[in-house]
Amino acid sequence: MPLSSEEKVYLLKLARRTLEAALAGEKFREPEPPYPALKEPGGAFVTLHKYGELRGCIGTFQAEKPLYLVVKEMALSAAFNDPRFPPLSTEELPEVEIEISVLSPLARGKPEEVEVGRHGIYLIKGIFRGVLLPQVAVEHGWDRETFLDHVCLKAGLPPGCWRDPETEIYLFTAEVFSERDFGLAPREKFL
């Protein structure tokens, strides 16, 4: 069931407050949310954008913890543990927009089943793994094959690896929302 606007705003504010507290050297102790859906186990990714450019993105498909706790953990990981970027600084936080992707369960899929703009892809071949969220293909204007090729690259494999019968492809959908959607982010960072 889709999240309500109130639930989305709660998660976005939770992510930002968690980062503010971490940068201040404090631990943000959030009260349990008043929304039952956020207490249910769920997978999510948190993406940070700085002036429209990727600044961090970490997530999990594991649905073992309540969604609100997963969002909190993934916000911290995106800000401080994404190996592609240095840890987020206090000065950067006002320049960062938070985006959350709440994930559906994974389902085994075939390349021809991938719908650009609807599906995200999780690809596994041996020890290699790569994932791209549904919105990535749309943001870059990729077709299905280009999207699949980029998931291969993300996994550290050559383009076209998705054609190998030993490659496992899992599809998922995501409910994607950001601070911009609700007017929560500082305006000046979008100029």
- Give 84-138 pLDDT, tens digit per residue: 999 999 999 999 999 999 999 999 999 999 999 999 999 999 999 999 999 999 9
Residues 95 and 17 in one domain: yes
Question: In degrees, to the nearest 5, what angle opens at C-alpha 184 toward C-alphas 49 and 78?
Answer: 35
Residues 89 and 59 in one domain: yes
Secondary structure of residue 124 in the 3-state scheme:
strand
Residues 182 and 158 in one domain: no
CATH number at residue 91: 3.30.700.20
Report field, pTM of the whole predicted structure over 0.85:
yes
Q: How would you classify the pairing of strands 43-50 and 53-60? A: antiparallel
CATH number at residue 116: 3.30.1490.150
Number of domains in the chain: 2
Yes or no: say if 160 and 190 are a contact pair by the CB < 8 Å rule: no
**Domain range for residue 24?**
5-104+174-190
In eight-state DSSP terms, residue 134 is: H
Measured between its terminal Cα atoms, the distance across the chain in Å is: 34
